């Protein structure tokens, strides 16, 4: 029997070693309180030094909504063929911002916590999960902003609006998978932190935040079918059709199916991809 076998029988494990995938996920789950506490602390720390404090959690999305509505709704007039353009724009912009912050900030969740990773033994997946939880805590108030903007434009609340809950859950699952992928990639390729803001900006301007794919490509059904399989378009469309009424905003059940499949697949791939490099996090070579 080798020394490694003896150590394993005695319950001793290699520091920073990679446990089996199932065991690893159980270790992550056991640290759920730490993940939530870290996320909540970061939300408070991000706003605590400001004079208005936690009020900025609400004020930021409100100000963003006002800026987007003013520039793209009134000044640039990009609303051709889109009913209720201001809430259409606000919902799209706030939802894509949730994705973008997970993409860019999540990529730094390991590299920006090098001291913590090198000094303590814990499943490293806890760090990107804490980042996603932090962004979720900040996204929830923006859902209220979407609701208020929709009501301000004459949309009456219905039971259908409760569908935003499963949409938020699946969107968070999708964002978690993306965050796990970028968190590992940035460890291997530090230049990713320089590229991701450009990628995020490209996504922001090309996913239908400021225009309707259905209107732009209504004479090209094949293009619309391709766009329908784009996950971010699915999430934005679901958010808009839930809150807004009229013939342009009919909920498409297939988008619930597509987005759920995307969320599960991306999370599964992201979790396995991140776990596979567990032993490399914190290394200086």
Rg of the chain, C-alpha, whole Å: 21
Cα(77)–Cα(14) distance, rounded to whole angstroms? 60
- Non-local (6+) Cβ contacts of 67 within 8 A are none
Task: Quote the tokens at residue 19.
Answer: 């446990």
Task: Quote the tokens at residue 228.
Answer: 């329908």
Cα(267)–Cα(181) distance, rounded to whole angstroms? 9
Q: Which residue has the tokens 């003013």?
A: 70
Question: Which segments in the chain show pLDDT lower than 50?
Answer: 3-4, 6-8, 10-12, 284
The pLDDT value given to residue 212:
72
Length of the chain (residues): 285
Cα end-to-end span (Å), the chain: 32
The pLDDT value given to residue 62:
72
How distant is the alpha carbon of residue 111 from its chain centre? 19
Q: Which residue has the tokens 């400001």?
A: 50
Cα(270)–Cα(182) distance, rounded to whole angstroms? 9
The pLDDT value given to residue 181:
94
The pLDDT value given to residue 114:
75
For residue 24, which of 126, 134, 133 has the smallest C-alpha distance? 126
For residue 87, which of 57, 63, 66 has the smallest C-alpha distance? 66
- Non-local (6+) Cβ contacts of 76 within 8 A are none
Residue 210 per-residue DSSP state: S
The pLDDT value given to residue 73:
64
Residue 282 per-residue DSSP state: T
């Amino acid at each position: 029997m080798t020394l490694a076998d003896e150590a394993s029988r005695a319950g001793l494990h290699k520091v920073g070693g990679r446990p089996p995938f199932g065991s690893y996920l159980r270790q992550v789950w056991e640290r759920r309180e730490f993940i939530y506490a870290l996320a909540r602390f970061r939300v408070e720390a991000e706003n605590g030094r400001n004079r208005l404090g936690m009020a900025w959690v609400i004020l930021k999305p409100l100000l963003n909504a006002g800026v987007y509505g003013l520039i793209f709704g009134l000044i640039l007039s990009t609303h051709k063929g889109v009913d209720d353009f201001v809430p259409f724009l606000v919902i799209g912009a706030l939802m894509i911002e949730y994705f973008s912050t997970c993409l860019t900030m999540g990529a730094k969740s390991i590299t920006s916590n090098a001291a913590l990773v090198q000094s303590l033994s814990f499943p490293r997946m806890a760090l990107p999960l804490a980042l996603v939880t932090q962004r979720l805590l900040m996204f929830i108030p923006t859902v209220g902003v979407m609701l208020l903007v929709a009501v301000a434009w004459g949309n009456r609340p219905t039971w259908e609006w409760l569908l935003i809950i499963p949409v938020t859950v699946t969107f968070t699952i999708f964002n978690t998978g993306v965050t796990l992928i970028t968190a590992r990639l940035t460890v291997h390729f530090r230049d990713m932190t320089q590229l991701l803001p450009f990628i995020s900006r490209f996504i922001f301007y090309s996913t239908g935040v400021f225009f309707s794919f259905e209107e732009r490509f209504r004479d090209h059904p094949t293009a619309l079918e391709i766009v329908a399989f784009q996950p971010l378009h699915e999430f934005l469309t679901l958010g808009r059709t839930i809150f807004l009424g009229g013939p342009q905003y009919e909920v498409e059940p297939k988008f619930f199916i597509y987005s759920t499949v995307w969320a599960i697949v991306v999370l599964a791939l992201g979790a396995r991809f991140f776990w596979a490099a567990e032993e490399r996090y914190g290394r200086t070579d």
